[in-house]
Structure 1
Amino acid sequence: MTAQVLAGLLADETRLRVFSAIVLGAATPAEIASATGATAKEVALALHRLTGGGLVADDDGRLTAATGRFKEVLRSPAGAERAVAETDTGDEGTAFLLRTFVDGDRLLGVPSRLGRRRTVLAHLAHRHFRPGERYPERAVNDILRGWSDGSGTDHVAIRRYLVELDVLDRSDSTYWLRTEAGTGS
């Protein structure tokens, strides 16, 4: 996680209040809504983003704040510089999108908007799949597990997104990078 991603997760006032309530001991959505004055829908949306970003963990229905993420970010200034260099596409908007959702070869979260989702996943796909090469499903799963660790999305969903968004093609449990799939950058 980069400092930008962390700041982005907490930049929204509702998400910040929800995270603060969890830090102060609220452990269920109902407790969070009561502590923050937010509606159930606002709490659910904020929790979705915070858990997807790795700032909140759900342990059998009990929510906890992953406050150790702040120390991680502070201890890794070089990581933030590397992430900027790896996502420098010449397009400021795309670079910002990639820095928000990608840390090196790890997916930090999956954008909800399809165009943004395609851009992020195509970026990673073009880093890990070679044009013209066919990959058995097991190899694809291994690659995607590496991306999805900590993203809040499992590798199967990511594989499905890659096919649905025309980044990868599939036939008989074999996958390949589509030649017309742009990097999204």
Structure 2
Amino acid sequence: MTTAETVVRVLAEPARLRAFAAVVLGAGTPADVAAASGLPLRDAGTALRKLREAGLVEGDPVRPADLKPLAATLTERPPADGLAPFVRAGKLISLPVAHERRRRILEHVASKAFEPRAYYEEKEINERLRAWCDGGEVDHVTIRRYLVDLGLLERGGGLYQAQPLPM
């Protein structure tokens, strides 16, 4: 799913921005993109691959992807619960640097992914966290470690136990 964050992250790299502009202006092949953007052919090909992976271009010859669904989401106001921009639509996009804010985000993830006092095998922990991390910047293993370090999950005997959240 293409998000505003994805667009900004992908287009923040100058070669990708130039390649995308060339496609928007009608370049359809890597050679056309290279010529229109002034990029070496290899760099144009790499930029097109990254743009395709991000869902910004499609087809052969290449053309801009339909970004109307993305544009519709840009007018939505994020919830005032302090989770944005870190959590969107049940997905963990990134983690804040500030410890207290990071803890709050991870408590939210733990409360939605696990039942307090329930036991889970590592495979199930990984599956549940992978679902939260899909499309974000943080991997499920890092989140699992943070949850254990913060005492939100306890590990022992090959099992994990979800801990009740503090009130």
Q: TM-score, normalised by structure 1?
A: 0.54
Residue equivalent to 1:120: 105
CA distance, structure 1, for counterparts of residue 106 and residue 95 of structure 2: 8
Q: Tell me whether 1:182 sits opposite 2:166 in the alignment.
A: yes
Q: 2:17 aligns with which of 19, 23, 45?
A: 23
Residue equivalent to 1:166: 151
Residue equivalent to 1:42: none
Residue equivalent to 1:111: 96
CA distance, structure 2, for counterparts of residue 157 and residue 119 of structure 1: 16
Deviation at 1:113, TM superposition (A): 2.8
In 2 relative to 1, CA 2–24 (structure 1 residues): closer, same or farther, beyond 3 Å?
Answer: closer
Name the SS of the counterpart of 2:138 in structure 1: coil
Paired residue type of 1:182: P
Q: Tell me whether 1:73 sits opposite 2:47 in the alignment.
A: no
Q: Tell me whether 1:155 sits opposite 2:140 in the alignment.
A: yes
Kindly indicate which of the two structures has a greater share of residues assigned to helix: 1
In 2 relative to 1, CA 16–108 (structure 1 residues): closer, same or farther, beyond 3 Å?
Answer: closer
Tell me how large the CA RMSD over aligned residues is.
3.6
Name the SS of the counterpart of 2:85 in structure 1: helix
CA distance, structure 2, for counterparts of residue 174 and residue 162 of structure 1: 14
CA distance, structure 1, for counterparts of residue 126 and residue 10 of structure 2: 34
**Where do 5+ consecutive residues of structure 2 fail to align?**
21-45, 57-64
Per-residue CA distance 1:16-70 (angstroms, 9 max, x = gap): 99445531149xxxxxxxxxxxxxxxxxxxxxxxxxxxxxxxxxxx563544696
CA contact (8 A) 2:113 2:129 kept: no
CA contact (8 A) 1:168 1:176 kept: yes
Per-residue CA distance 1:126-169 (angstroms, 9 max, x = gap): 11211121111111111001001011222111111111122211
Paired residue type of 1:73: L
**Where do 5+ consecutive residues of structure 1 fail to align?**
27-61, 90-94
Percent identity among equivalent residues? Answer: 31
CA distance, structure 1, for counterparts of residue 93 and residue 128 of structure 2: 15
